[in-house]
Amino acid sequence: MDRMFRVLAFWTGIFAVMFYTGDMMEASLLSLVQTAFFLTIGYLKLSERMYVYIFFSYLTVFMIGFTYYCSFILVPGFGGH
């Protein structure tokens, strides 16, 4: 399971680079923070159960943040079409 956190760190790092090249600094910084978090967790050598608990907690925090953003911050019709 520790390798999967390193894989997640790799992909969030890729996203950070793509966001940076697309001049989206806030998203790039967020992805970079997630990369550091996943790398740190990936090298802790925790038990399998603890890795699952951490991943579940991460998903819960993500869904709460995403729901808050979509409900209160996102402006509907931002595409301008």
Predicted model pTM: 0.82
Position 78 pLDDT exceeds 80: no
| pLDDT tens for each residue of 17-58 | 999 999 999 999 999 999 999 999 999 999 999 999 999 999
CB atoms within 10 A of CB 49: 9
From residue 74, alpha-carbon distances to 1, 9, 50, 77 in Å are 35, 27, 34, 9
Position 7 pLDDT exceeds 80: yes
Per-residue exposure over 63-81, b if at least 16 CB sit within 10 Å of its own CB, e if not? eeeeeeeeeeeeeeeeeee
CB atoms within 10 A of CB 59: 10
